[in-house]
Amino acid sequence: MNIKDVLIHFLPKKKTVKVPPGTNLIEAADKAGINIPSLCAGRGKCGKCKVKVVHKKIPYTSEEEITLSPEERSQGIHLACQINVTTELSVEIISEEKATTTQFLTYDLADKINVDTHLKKVYLEMKTPGIDNQVDDFSNLNTSTILQKKQIFTPLPVLQNLPTFLRKNEFKATFTIDEDQIISYDAGDTTGRLFGLAFDLGTTTIVGSLIDMLSGNVLAISACTNPQSKQGEDVISRVHYATSEPGGLVKLQTDVTEAINGIIEDLCKQSNVNFREIYEMSLAGNTIMNHLFLGVTPQFIAETPYIPAFRKSQKFRAEELGITIHSRAMVSTLPNISGYVGGDITGFILASGIHNSDKITLGIDVGTNGEIVLGSKQRLLCCSAAAGPAFEGGHISHGMRAMEGAIDKCVFENDQPFFHVIGDVDAKGICGTGLIDVVAELLKFGIVDVTGKLDLPQSKEIPEWLRNSVIKTDNNNSFDLLPNENSSEESQLLITQRDIREVQLGKGAIAAGINILCKELGISIIDVEKILIAGAFGSYLNKHNAQKIGLIPKVPMDRISFVGNAASLGAKKFLLSKKARKETEKIINFVEYVELSMRVDFQDVFAECMLFE
């Protein structure tokens, strides 16, 4: 049987995909790299997946008749979850949350990366020496074509093999040169293959991208959990482990190196690239991750006065670091700004171009340490706020990372709540974005008050199902997310009073950091012209709810953008561009680090920011 795939065109981005007939439109969009939001798991209830079908009329389902207004229906608006495509279709993405797809490439400050690397691969047809041309091999190589500009360092193993290798290949070969030293040599012309790696080394997650260094294209992406997590979820526990456990530092370095090597193996497999063809690597991590990666003690970052061993970019041979790419490939870390604002934030700034912007921009990377950048090309400040792990699911009763089984979105309707669970399986817990949604909804219905207290309000307007979800106890109340699903206590999915406190501490720290930076810069929050949100939250964060709980300042919605994995993009830019490298040096000298613990006003501001408005 011959089933013809059907074409689906997505507007306004003009993306087209070919899918088998019967494919759900949300799935088809996903294949086109477009993330259509959905909360009700395709039941046609939440109304989040609205799209406009153009140039064609298709019938409405009964769910659509209920959820969509007559006006919407007259415009050809449908719920994507209700459409299983059968013929060619043009669909306009109109959902408000379409802006939550990774916006980096369209963000006006993030220029296209010009490939301008340190790395060169040159194919040489060298002169064959003769009795009347007794040129030595080393000079022959150095004077050939572009190498003659400056002396190239020839590493000992290369020099040792050079005479035999050149003669075996009739003085025709390809040399890979990194700035001023030979990395590698191949028989024949291999100039078409030049690969590099950009790593985002997160405290929680490691993401590696294999990059074609000729085109700048990402060939493959692979990720894994940072195995150091076993020795502590946050950076401070890792520092503690590294400095107090015998062999702790070596273990942490070895673990992360092995994880990176695993990712590299996967990237190579995905792309049919040999690890010896990878000639360079860049890595953006926070300052402590960078220290642990290099096997440098981070001890003095954790003690007052919080001094890192290095801020500038460090560059060593892969071999020295145990990274399984070409042994002489250079591995560089993005420079750190301070002990708690690391290379990942330098990458964020580099990728977003905040430091070159006329507009006052606020950059937030929410994590256990929330890094905040505020300013413009006039002046740029940054700080690190100890937000705690709540937004990564840590220290939350049923908290978990944004992985299969995690509730990552939720909306309370009058008659029922809608949850979105990653992987479309039974909910096992709740991750950061889900938690923000829940707290925002609890605030909306008055079940959490301005001080953060969780309790049923006097108001009679609380829907029945919500009222039933509040579990009252003598001391503290809890909110049961899934009251009807299961009655056993063990499988209850509760948000406790303590969880609310953790959220308050987290959002309070970040809001206080933003507040202090505004004070330091002499502006009000409303002067902020752009807000860029980076980090694992990515496009899953509901901006309204983040504002509602006070994590994000209350500025007009159109000023807020999600910038996805900014550290990865920064690492990629650093890898591909000499100019970008120089720029990072400027960035770390330009950005002013504000040590919050030194501010006498911090505690007051923090206490204020812990409240809900």
| Least spacing, CB of residue 598 vs a second copy, in Å | 6
* Cβ distance to a second copy smaller for residue 308 or 429: 308
Q: Are 375 and 381 in contact (CB under 8 A)?
A: yes
> Encoding tokens for residue 11?
């507007």
* Cβ distance to a second copy smaller for residue 117 or 154: 154
* Cβ distance to a second copy smaller for residue 321 or 571: 321
Burial pattern 340-363, b for ≥16 Cβ within 10 A else e, equals: bbbbbbbbbbbbbbbbbbeebbbb
Task: Give me Rg for the CA atoms of the chain.
Answer: 27
C-alpha to C-alpha distance for 534 and 298, rounded to whole angstroms? 25
* Cβ distance to a second copy smaller for residue 290 or 565: 290
DSSP state letter for 295: T
| Least spacing, CB of residue 89 vs a second copy, in Å | 57
For 559, the 3-state DSSP assignment is helix
| Least spacing, CB of residue 316 vs a second copy, in Å | 5
Q: Are 481 and 407 in contact (CB under 8 A)?
A: yes
* Cβ distance to a second copy smaller for residue 147 or 321: 321
Which residue ranges make up the site for a second copy (CB under 8 A)? Answer: 129-139, 142, 151, 154, 156, 159-160, 162-164, 167, 294-297, 299-300, 304-312, 314, 316, 320-321, 336, 338-339, 593, 595, 597-598
For 392, the 3-state DSSP assignment is helix
Selection from 583, 537, 580, 584 nearest residue 561 by Cα? 537
* Cβ distance to a second copy smaller for residue 132 or 415: 132
C-alpha to C-alpha distance for 202 and 208, rounded to whole angstroms? 11
> Encoding tokens for residue 375?
């300013």
| Least spacing, CB of residue 178 vs a second copy, in Å | 14
C-alpha to C-alpha distance for 438 and 430, rounded to whole angstroms? 10
| Least spacing, CB of residue 349 vs a second copy, in Å | 18
| Least spacing, CB of residue 295 vs a second copy, in Å | 5
| Least spacing, CB of residue 139 vs a second copy, in Å | 6
| Least spacing, CB of residue 404 vs a second copy, in Å | 39
Selection from 211, 433, 451 nearest residue 325 by Cα? 211
* Cβ distance to a second copy smaller for residue 22 or 305: 305
| Least spacing, CB of residue 373 vs a second copy, in Å | 17
* Cβ distance to a second copy smaller for residue 165 or 465: 165
| Least spacing, CB of residue 200 vs a second copy, in Å | 22
* Cβ distance to a second copy smaller for residue 87 or 151: 151
| Least spacing, CB of residue 308 vs a second copy, in Å | 5
Residues 115/119/122/126 CA torsion (nearest 10 deg): 150
Q: Please report which helix (H) or strand (E) contains residue 123, including its range.
A: strand 119-125
| Least spacing, CB of residue 541 vs a second copy, in Å | 32
Q: What is the 3-state secondary structure (H, E, C) of 434-496?
A: HHHHHHHHHHHCCCECCCCCECCCCCCCCCHHHHHHEECCCCCCEEECCCCCCCCHHHCCEEE
C-alpha to C-alpha distance for 310 and 294, rounded to whole angstroms? 11
C-alpha to C-alpha distance for 352 and 200, rounded to whole angstroms? 16
Q: Are 178 and 317 in contact (CB under 8 A)?
A: no
Q: Please report which helix (H) or strand (E) contains residue 361, including its range.
A: strand 361-365
What φ, ψ does residue 328 adopt, rounded to 5°?
-95, 0
List Cα–Cα distances, 152 to 161, 175, 465, 575, in angstroms. Answer: 16, 11, 74, 21
* Cβ distance to a second copy smaller for residue 154 or 504: 154
* Cβ distance to a second copy smaller for residue 42 or 342: 342
* Cβ distance to a second copy smaller for residue 409 or 599: 599
